């Protein structure tokens, strides 16, 4: 673990709810991370995007593990959220639309096809932090 403080800020992302969306009804959400892209997900209950992702980021901050059976099993979105928080990049959670439970998979696929860049393969923390590293290197070279 690095020397980074492990305290999770109370407000670590911006929340946007698109017009007409009711977070108490099933629907589609999007995590938008500066310098990384978007992750599209579906929810039946809004505690998934609100609570579960915060817990995964908090666990990484404290040096915890994903699960006993898969200690380093963090999905790409978990690593990207963690890296963005460490780097001070903007994070936004957007509730995109409501749909019936039966439509969730199809609607999620549509949105992933349009912009789900983080719905792919796993990446290491170092890969997730590359936008910040590239910016730091460019600044150092410009100052030299």
Structural domain contains residue 103: yes
8, part of any domain: no
- Residue 55 counted as domain residue: yes
Q: Is the pTM of this model over 0.85?
A: no
Q: Could you give the C-alpha distances from 116 to 33, 72, 142, in angstroms and in order? A: 11, 23, 34
Report yes or no: 59 and 74 within 8 Å, Cβ to Cβ.
Answer: no
Structural domain count, the chain: 1
Model confidence pLDDT, tens digit, residues 35-68: 999 999 999 988 878 888 999 999 999 999 998 9
The range of the structural domain enclosing residue 20 comes to: 14-143
Higher pLDDT, 140 or 11: 11
Q: Is residue 32 part of a domain?
A: yes
């Amino acid at each position: 673990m690095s020397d980074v403080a492990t305290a999770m800020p109370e407000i670590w992302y911006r929340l946007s709810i698109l017009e007409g969306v009711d977070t108490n009804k099933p629907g589609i959400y999007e995590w938008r991370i500066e310098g990384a892209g978007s992750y599209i997900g579906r929810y039946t209950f809004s505690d998934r995007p609100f609570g579960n992702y915060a817990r995964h980021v908090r666990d990484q901050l404290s040096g915890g593990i994903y699960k006993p059976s898969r200690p380093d099993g963090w999905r790409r979105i978990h690593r990207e959220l963690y890296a963005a928080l460490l780097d001070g990049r903007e994070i936004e959670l957007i509730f995109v639309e409501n749909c019936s439970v039966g439509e969730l998979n199809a609607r999620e696929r549509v949105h992933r096809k349009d912009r789900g860049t983080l719905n792919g393969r796993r990446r290491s923390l170092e890969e997730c932090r590359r936008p910040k590293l590239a910016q730091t290197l460019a600044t150092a070279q410009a100052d030299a």
